[in-house]
Structure 1
Amino acid sequence: MKLIIIITHDENAKDLEATLLEKRYSLTKLDSVGGFLQKKNTTFLLATKKEKVDEVIELTKKVAKTKEETVSAPVFSGDGMESMLASGSQVTVEVGGAMVFVMPLERMEKI
């Protein structure tokens, strides 16, 4: 068994959830926030057979598209993310898409 963690931009979450559920994957959905841009994300947790990992990744690729967005460049004051400030200069970054982590799952029980 494998544990798949998918972190995707919030605007992709509804479509990704529908796609995974349509293919009969059980999942848990969590709200999350990205560290750099501080934008809303959704994190999905799925447990599946090793043979199904590639299918989950392909479904995610089809739904979780990226786009370019212009944002204020952050300036870090040296004491961590809590004091991140906008610098006023604009930078173009790629947003959206998904980050997929696949890990061994020793045991899972639905209780």
Structure 2
Amino acid sequence: MEKKSKLVLAVLQGSDSDNTIRNLNERGFMVTVLSSTGGFLKKKSTTVMIGVEEDRLEEALDVLQKYAGHRKETVYQSVTMPHGEMSAVPPVPMEVMAGGAAVFIVSLDDIRKF
């Protein structure tokens, strides 16, 4: 019986790519990396191509979600006083949304490695 395969194309934010790719590789997924730019702000992104057997698809998607998915991060915002006065107020912590990946899953007829 022929194994079914999928091609996963995932567009990752540039800052998430190294950690995500490393974790995919550690789990035995072979990843082809393409530099890309896109979206409204034209920010750097990385597109990864992963050929995966259907029975390991959810495992690959779990890694993508864990390391490149939406998450909350704390950033520290400086406080600006009116009229340019200097202040001894420490930066204020703020929660912001970070990360996010667009994932496309395509059915494949065959995967061949030469």
TM-score, structure 2 length as denominator?
0.69
Give deviations 1:72-99, integer Å, cap 9, x for gaps: xxxxxxxxxxxxxxxxxxxxx9652111
Determine if contact 1:10/1:40 at 8 Å carries over to the other structure: yes
Structure 2: runs of 5+ lacking an equivalent: 73-95
Pairs aligned (count) = 87
Runs ≥4 in structure 1, deviation > 2 angstroms? 65-68, 93-96
Which of 53, 58, 69 is the matching residue for 2:57?
53
Judged with a 3 Å threshold, the aligned counterparts in structure 2 of structure 1 residues 47 and 37 are, in CA distance, closer, same or farther, namely same
1:98 partnered with 2:81: no
Aligned-pair CA distance for 1:35: 2.7
Determine if contact 1:2/1:47 at 8 Å carries over to the other structure: yes
Give deviations 1:36-80, integer Å, cap 9, x for gaps: 110000000011111111111111111014368xxxxxxxxxxxx
**What is the one-letter code of the residue matched to 1:50?**
E
Question: Aligned with 1:109: secondary structure?
Answer: coil
Q: Percent identity?
A: 30
Judged with a 3 Å threshold, the aligned counterparts in structure 2 of structure 1 residues 7 and 17 are, in CA distance, closer, same or farther, namely same
TM-score, structure 1 length as denominator?
0.71
1:3 partnered with 2:14: no
Q: Distance in 1 between matches of 2:20 and 2:61?
A: 11
Question: Which protein is bigger by CA-based radius of gyration?
Answer: 2
